Each structure stands twice: as structure tokens, then as C-alpha cells.
Chains A and B, each alone.
Chain A
């Protein structure tokens, strides 16, 4: 990208105030002087923490899809479900649109989010060659989109509410996958909290300038 310069200021996304940004590696938080909103935090090794947590989250998500999620028994009969059943069984009731939306929101979206986040953070660990540096903005864009529609914690509360709703009617067995899903949710949320978007794009620009 010819003519691309490093900028030292940014516009506050909330109130559009022009803010002078301090240099990287300063270990501090920056707030908008006009509206007081948090703009960016610079913390040492936060991207490494995010990567470790995202990898743990990915492993836990795979476990959560493999093992039984919840079990249910009443009147001597028993039924088990896996995590993905909550989307696929909607197809059986002629609700393909709802089934697809639920599948994307609780499985495909979070899985894609973790995979793109891991790829991005791994690539950012060291300077990359010219061709790979073009991949970085695309990955960051995908992460932002998937993060906006990420609803893993909402799904977890939904599972807790479901258990509370039917525990009076039947006996519920909480499967291994349920605990894995709780771990996956915590890892995903904390991992995303470690990634400061402003610093992420700053780093991507630095890699880009070095790569081209």
C-alpha cells in the first residue's frame, strides 16, 4: 500500500473526538477526553494470553460437541442430547431457518471466531512475509464480525434456564459436555477481553508496513 503513513491520533468511535494516542508498549489505558469512554488499553503479553485462552476454548468446544450434553428421564424412559442436537432437532420439526440460525449462533459462529482469532494471533507473533500480511486485515475483519454476533454466554444461560424449567418434571443428568461448554464460554469471553481492537489494528498496520 503506497503512501501509507503511521498515524498517532484516532477519532473516538463514540463521540468522534480527535485523540492523541501514546506510543505502543506503554502499559496504560487511554480514555476519550470528550466523552470519557475507554478507547484502548496497552498491556504486555495480552495477545499471548488471548492466544492461550483461545486454544483452550477450542479444545473445550470440541469436547463439548463430542460428549453428551444433557440427559433427561421421566416415567422410566430416558433420553440424551448432544450440544448440536439443539440445532439439528429443529430441522426435524420443519424449522430449517430457526435451526440454521441457532446452529450459527451457538456453534458455527463461535468455532469460526476461535479459528480466525487463533490464526490471526499466531500470524501476529512474528513479522510475516508480504503475501501473508495481506491476510491480516481480512482475519481481523472476520473476528470483529463474528464477535459482534457471538452469543455463547447467552446460550449458556439458556441451558441453565432450560434445566431449571424442566427439573420439576423429570430427572436431569448434566453431562461432561455441559461442563466443557462452561469452560469454553469462560475461555472465549476472557480471550476476547484480552484483545484490544485498537492495539490489534495498530500491530496489523506495523506488520503490514514491515511486510510490504
Chain B
């Protein structure tokens, strides 16, 4: 562990001037204040325990990811026989029926995006803990992309909700929600909370070389 834990702020940053940018109303609040003097939001130079909170939400999401994929997300009953299916089974079934675009949408939104999002946030947390000064622009884009695509994983939960409401022909064809639906909903919400708990400004601290010049500012 390094001898000093005080972060190095870039000379252009508000933090270097002892100013805290309010995350809610964009007001600059001078340092001793803990609350924004206009909107009352909590202010700080960087979000408190950003990495720890992000990791805690991520860990919850990873734990929920197991039941979300192992348990059935919905149960289809056709003429009396019920058939539970997991997320991946649903994708495979759609692929066999020839609905390739739908299968791809579900696969990307429900499998690829949550996994990529968790890995991206882990990578960002690690780079902050390691105080990496490299590839700031790339890491900034990764964080923005993570925040942008996160909500789209909810598609599968909405599909289940819609099918449960729509496909209700008693004795012929019915669809019931499976326990994985709630677990998967939890995965999406907790990865969104994780991305929100992270502080992107942390990526830019330490991006300073010994001469005090920014190194990786594109």
C-alpha cells in the first residue's frame, strides 16, 4: 500500500480549487459545506465509498445472476402439460423456431449485457483502486456505455409480464411467471444501482504526470 492515501486532483479540476460540484443542480459548493446551499443535496469532492458501494451492489447482482439463469423464468402450459423454461432455454427455443432477431435480442439483453456490465464495472473499480493514469478516455466511454445499456436488460422481465397477461386461454395455452423473473429483475436493478454508485470523476484523478500535466486527455 502506498504511503499517502490523499488523491491527486488534476490542476484543471474543481476539486483542486476546493470546490464541490453538486451532482443534482450543478452548483459549485465550497469545501467545508456538506450540503448544497441551493438544492440541499449531499455534496463531496468525490462520492463517499464509491468503489465499495459499487462492489457491494455488483456482488448482490452476481449472486442473483445464479438463480436468474438456473431457475425457470416462465412456465408455459399447453393443453394441460406444463413446460418450465430458463432464459437460455427460451433463447435456444426461439432460435430453433427460426425467430433469429428475437432470439438475438433476448440473448444480448439478458445474457451478454448483464455479464459485460458487471465485468466493465469491476474493471473500472480495479483501475480506480490501482490509481491507473492510463486510457482515461476509453474508461470514460466504458462507464457511459454501461450506464446507457443497463436498462435494456429489463426487456426479458417485461416480455414475461406481457406474456403472462396476454396468454391466458384456460385449458389451451397459459403462461405463468417463474421465480427467475424476480431474480433477473433484481440483477438489472442492482447493476443499475452499482453504475449509479460509481463516481466517474475518480477515473480522472491521478491522470497527472510528474510535471503536473494531464497525460491522457485525448
Contacts and interface: CB of A to CB of B under 8 A. Distances in A.
Contacts of A87: 161
Contact of A13 (B21, B97, B106, B214): B21
Contacts of B42: none
B34 interface: no
B81 to A, nearest CB: 15
Given A14-B140, A162-B166, A154 B152 contact: yes
A40 to B, nearest CB: 9
Contacts of A182: none
A18 B169 contact: no
B165 A86 contact: yes
A198 B25 CA distance: 7
A158 B159 contact: yes
B23 to A, nearest CB: 7
A89 B169 contact: no
A126 interface: no
B13 A157 contact: no
Interface in A163-212: 164-166, 168-170, 197-198, 201, 204-205, 208
Contact of B162 (A13, A35, A75, A158): A158
B186 to A, nearest CB: 9
B71 interface: no
B158 A86 contact: yes
B26 A13 contact: yes
B164 A93 contact: yes
Contacts of B176: 93
B106 A161 contact: yes
Interface stretch (B50-58, B60-68, B120-128, B196-204): B196-204
A34 interface: yes
A137 B38 contact: yes
A158 B169 contact: no
Given A1-B38, A95-B177, A102 B99 contact: no
Interface stretch (A4-12, A57-65, A111-119): A4-12
Contacts of A166: 163, 166-167
B25 A18 contact: no
Interface in A13-53: 13-18, 33-37
A157 to B, nearest CB: 6
B158 A158 contact: yes
A166 B9 CA distance: 55
A201 B23 CA distance: 12
Interface string A67-91: 0001010110111010001111110
B38 A4 contact: yes
Given A4-B38, A15-B201, A10 B26 contact: yes
Max chain A C-beta neighbours (<10 A), residue from B39, B40, B164, B182:
B164
Given A86-B164, A137-B38, A151-B151, A74 B159 contact: no
A33 B214 CA distance: 12
Contacts of A18: 12-14, 17, 19
A151 B173 contact: no
Contact of B166 (A16, A34, A81): A81
Contacts of B189: 101
B27 to A, nearest CB: 7
Given A13-B201, A159-B162, 15 more contacts: A7-B28, A11-B19, A11-B26, A16-B15, A35-B140, A75-B172, A86-B165, A87-B161, A95-B181, A101-B189, A102-B158, A157-B152, A162-B162, A165-B159, A201-B39
Minimum-distance CB pairs A-B, first 3: A11-B21, A158-B158, A11-B14
7 contacts: A12-B21, A14-B140, A35-B140, A74-B172, A85-B166, A87-B161, A151-B154
Interface of B: 9-10, 12-15, 17, 19-21, 23-28, 37-41, 94, 97, 99, 101-102, 105-106, 136-137, 140, 151-152, 154-159, 161-169, 172-173, 176-177, 181-182, 185, 189, 192, 196, 200-201, 203-204, 214, 217-218
